[in-house]
Amino acid sequence: MKLGARVFKTGVAIVFALFIAELLKLPSPVFAGIAAIFAIQPSIYRSYQTIVEQVQANIIGATIAVIFGLLFGHHVVAIGIAVIIAIGLMLKFKLEKSLSLALVSVVAIMEFQGDDFLTFGLIRFVTILVGVLAAFVVNLVFLPPKYEVKLFRKIYILQDDIIRWTRLAVRQASEHTSTKTALSKFKNRMLRVDTLYDFYKEERNYLKNKKYVKARKLVVYRQMILTSKKSLELLQRLHNHENELAQLPTQFHLMIQERLDSLLTYHEQLLLKYTGKLKPEHSEWSKSIDYVQRNELMEIFIKQINFAREEGDTEFSSYHLLYILSRILDYEENLEHLDTLIVSYQSYHGHEINVEFEEEFI
């Protein structure tokens, strides 16, 4: 079982909300703890975004509860109708994310059966508001997430796994079912990378020079993620057409294998280059002696098609091979673009990378 920072923040927020509620001597402080659960957010920026919405949800829920409590009493049917109306209003005002908090307010206030209902409703409203504010304070000061480091770590580890499986696939060394399972896991992990990128993008910098650095980093990370997706698409193609790949002439198969090995090594070097572990001007791909230009590769491919036709080779599938080649060339172009972006970023902000990743990546 893995416990992240958000789990600890939730526990701290509940304790803090209960403590404040007891300090203010509010009855039923448990509702403050419940509100804190709904109010915890994964990032500081999302806390800013949602606190107003959560306060609005609390106001809507409390208002509906008080009106229905005064007009129709506290019968369970009245509570149900109040809940339905609260849901309708929350959807109308596009406050779906705080819907649960509004419903808690409705039920928490309408369950009162005694006199002085208005005072009780106000107290419950304040109790829930305490929970919301407590969660906001915890989001603000407790374990602020470092999404950039988390994002790069996810990309780095995921890409390392994709590279290993791609090397196995192009050599026909991977088992079909195992590769299929790995591809499914890679796609799910890629979705988590996209989520972390959104979290990092939402983080705000209030110093002008930091904003420029952040903007450049976002461009690099966007291309880094796109390039990883291209490598995953390539692995998928190798998996889908493994039979056609096995039927290729030995020389042509070796050429594809060598080119892919160079590209995968190039990708590994780019990730090291971004962390400052590799010289910006160093590039194994561009210095390769046996580098074959893209147009030359396509010419070789066309010659191989013509040769197969002349020899009457019915096993050679030019159609499926074209799919694989297109993915390889697409992957190659994205790697080159990523290299350009990393070098450009390092020329302006190279010191930022060394400081932030010095302890994380060796």
Mind listing the pLDDT tens digit for each residue in 141-200?
Answer: 775 667 888 899 999 999 999 999 999 999 888 898 999 999 999 999 999 999 999 988
Distance of CA 136 to the CA centre of its chain: 22
pLDDT of residue 286: 52
pLDDT of residue 115: 72
Spatial distance between the Cα atoms of 237 and 241, rounded to a whole number of angstroms: 6
Identify which of 145, 91, 337 has the alpha carbon closest to the alpha carbon of residue 222: 337
| Cβ-contact 156, 136 below 8 angstroms | no
Res 13 pLDDT > 50? yes
Q: What is the percent of the chain with per-residue pLDDT over 90, rounded to a whole number?
A: 42
Of 311, 339, 142, 323, which is closest to residue 238 (Cα–Cα)? 323
Q: Which fold has domain 145-356?
A: Methane Monooxygenase Hydroxylase; Chain G, domain 1 (1.20.58)
Where are the chain's structural domains? 3-139, 145-356
Q: Give residue 26's Cα distance to chain centre.
A: 39
CA 216 – CA 349 distance, rounded (Å): 9
Please determine, for residue 130, whether its predicted confidence score (pLDDT) is greater than 90.
yes
pLDDT attached to residue 292: 56
- For 44, counting Cβ atoms within 10 Å of its Cβ (0-12 exposed, 13-18 middle, 19+ buried), the class is middle
pLDDT for res 281? 61
pLDDT tens-digit readout, 20-74: 999 999 988 999 999 998 888 877 777 777 788 889 999 999 999 999 988 888 8
pLDDT at 347 over 60: yes
Phi-psi region of 172 (alpha: psi -120 to 50; beta: other; left: phi over 0): left
Other beta carbons less than 10 A from residue 25's beta carbon:
7
Angle at 285 between CA 279 and CA 286, to 5 degrees: 80
What is the arithmetic mean of pLDDT over 242-253? Answer: 77
pLDDT at residue 184 in the model: 95
